[in-house]
């Protein structure tokens, strides 16, 4: 394992005296890009799918080793009560006389991968260095360089979501330590290994370690900076849950010529069912979908009004002539609950296309939740909508008797989920974090909620501690998809940002 290299005398003492602590950290990062990037390469090379326990254990051991190199106290793996589940990695630095405790969170597991979908020359767990983003004509570089340019990108699973967060937090403390800068608050580190698998067992870890994990504020590193490129601080996250819907056709695939116009096609049935869930303006037509939404506060509305407009530039970047609801800004849209189709499977396309009526069609539905929504209740609303469209709904494969009794059958399989969470935008300690990030990055975008989802409600539920989110990844990082990447400038500036937060006053 590669050590996180520390340089305790990076500048003459008279020069250090003339620099602020944040400037010292930034200088440290600029002069240690080689060590930082090469250590990150080693980390990214360890596969990190939550279901792959041997490699998850390797990731956890790698992180724990780096923490011990940094001489953190109480470094340990925290396992949930359920056997065979990923551990969280914990360590701490307690500051004499400190009255506040910050807990820094990131997750080290990543989304499942299909390496065949990655661009030629890329592999999810063989990190690659490029001069720029692929869509900008980026060219491959040898990983071992003497220095690293800010616009260069590292491609690999977890590069942005969320091993960059783990690396930035650890390197932030390493930079402070190397320059002899002592934090003024207590700092705890908590790195989760199951976030991309739903964090189903996170509450077990929190329940079993309540005394160890006591603090005043969780600082979460996950997600991208604002699309304008500015650093953002997010005071909440949307909740998330899923449904898988299967619509049935004939018991065996049929020739579309011999049976077309007579045997119902499940692909067509499913398409009509999905289309019934949204209108042309993107409004979800499921009855009661918005009824329990908690209205935004005056402070949240004021914050949204200050968010930089990015819609026109994003439409051009993404090749979208029109958005779902032109009356809503992106910031306003992600403060509403949503219904998204994650994927549809019916039959073959392209070279696999065949003239058949398939036996079934399957869709995966993603429901994002805001404050006031309950994930189970939101699932119920969608299921009731399916029933209102004339479907018999079952949770298992239909029997022959059911097939003959009901003309339209939908098998709906529920996944777990979690609700949205918000921390007050007036929270005193959160405001100090805003000041620290502003010191490091200048102007900061403040937003009520992140478009993505994290199980942050559990920190309030089990530890009574509020969280806020400080994302660092570039907005075009391809998280959860092929060709995931991190821009080096975002990684380097993320280190500076977290170091500045660690220097909060007592």
451 by DSSP, 3-state: which? strand
Read off the pTM: 0.88
- If we measure between CA atoms, which residue out of 242, 241, 240, 249 comes closest to residue 271? 249
For residue 154, pLDDT beyond 90: yes
Which residue's structure tokens are 């990923």?
86
Give 86-107 pLDDT, tens digit per residue: 999 999 999 999 999 999 999 9
Say which DSSP state 24 is in: H
Q: What is the average pLDDT across 357-373?
A: 97
Domain 21-235+423-502 annotated CATH 3.40.630.10: yes
Q: How confident is the model at residue 454 (pLDDT cuts 50, 70, 90)?
A: confident
For residue 394, pLDDT beyond 70: yes
- CA distances, 292 to each of 188, 371, 375, 473 (Å): 36, 8, 12, 32
Q: Which two tokens stand for residue 93?
A: 């630095």
Which residue's structure tokens are 């939740």?
369
pLDDT of residue 453: 86
**What are the residues facing 8 on neighbouring strands?**
none
Give domain limits for the chain: 21-235+423-502, 238-293+336-418
Percent of the chain with pLDDT over 70: 97
DSSP string, 207-236: HHTTTTT--SEEEE--SBPPTTS--EEESE
**Domain formed by 238-293+336-418, architecture:** 2-Layer Sandwich (3.30)
What does the chain come to in residues?
Answer: 506
For residue 311, pLDDT beyond 50: yes
Alpha-carbon distance 365 to 245, whole Å?
A: 8
For residue 466, pLDDT beyond 50: yes
pLDDT of residue 17: 54
């Amino acid at each position: 394992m590669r050590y996180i290299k520390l340089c305790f005398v990076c500048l003459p003492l008279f020069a250090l005296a003339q620099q602020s602590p944040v400037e010292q950290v930034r200088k440290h990062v600029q002069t240690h890009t080689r060590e930082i990037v090469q250590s990150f390469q080693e980390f990214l090379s360890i596969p990190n799918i939550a279901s792959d326990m041997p490699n998850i254990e390797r990731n956890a051991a790698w992180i724990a080793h780096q923490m011990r190199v940094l001489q953190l106290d109480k470094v340990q793996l925290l396992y949930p009560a359920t056997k065979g589940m990923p551990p969280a990695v914990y360590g701490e630095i307690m500051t004499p006389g400190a009255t506040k405790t910050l807990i820094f969170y990131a997750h080290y597991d990543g989304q499942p991968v299909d390496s065949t979908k990655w661009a030629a020359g890329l592999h999810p767990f063989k990190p690659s260095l490029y001069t720029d983003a692929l869509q900008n004509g980026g060219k491959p570089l040898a990983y071992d360089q003497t220095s690293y340019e800010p616009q260069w990108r590292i491609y690999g699973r977890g590069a942005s979501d969320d091993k960059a967060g783990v690396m930035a937090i650890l390197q932030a403390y390493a930079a402070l330590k190397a320059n002899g800068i002592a934090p003024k608050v207590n700092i705890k580190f908590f790195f989760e290994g199951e976030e991309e698998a739903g964090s189903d067992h996170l509450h077990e870890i929190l329940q079993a370690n309540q005394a160890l994990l006591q603090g005043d504020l969780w600082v979460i590193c996950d997600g991208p900076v604002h699309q304008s490129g500015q650093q953002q601080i997010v005071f909440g996250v949307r909740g998330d849950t899923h449904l898988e819907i299967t619509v049935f056709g004939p018991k065996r695939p049929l020739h579309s010529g011999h049976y077309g116009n007579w045997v119902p096609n499940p692909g067509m049935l499913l398409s009509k069912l999905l289309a019934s869930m949204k209108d042309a303006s993107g409004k979800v037509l499921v009855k009661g979908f918005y009824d329990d939404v908690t209205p935004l506060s005056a402070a949240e509305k004021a914050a949204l009004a200050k968010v930089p407009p990015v819609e026109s530039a994003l439409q051009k970047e993404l090749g979208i002539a029109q958005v779902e609801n032109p009356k809503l800004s992106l910031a306003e849209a992600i403060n509403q609950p949503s219904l998204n189709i994650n994927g549809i499977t019916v039959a073959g396309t392209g070279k696999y296309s065949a003239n058949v009526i398939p036996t079934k069609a399957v869709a995966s539905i993603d429901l994002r939740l805001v404050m006031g929504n309950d994930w189970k209740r939101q699932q119920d609303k969608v299921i009731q909508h399916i029933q209102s469209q004339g479907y018999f709904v079952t949770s298992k494969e239909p029997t022959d008797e059911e097939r003959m009794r009901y003309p339209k059958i939908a098998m709906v399989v529920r996944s777990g989920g979690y609700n949205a969470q918000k921390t007050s935008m007036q929270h005193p300690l959160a405001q100090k974090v805003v000041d620290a990030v502003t010191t490091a990055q200048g102007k900061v975008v403040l937003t009520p909620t992140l478009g993505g989802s994290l199980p942050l409600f559990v920190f309030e539920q089990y530890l009574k501690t509020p969280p806020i989110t400080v994302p660092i990844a570039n907005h075009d990082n391809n998280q959860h998809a092929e060709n995931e990447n991190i821009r080096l400038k975002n990684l380097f500036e993320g280190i500076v940002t977290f170091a500045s937060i660690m220097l909060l006053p007592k």
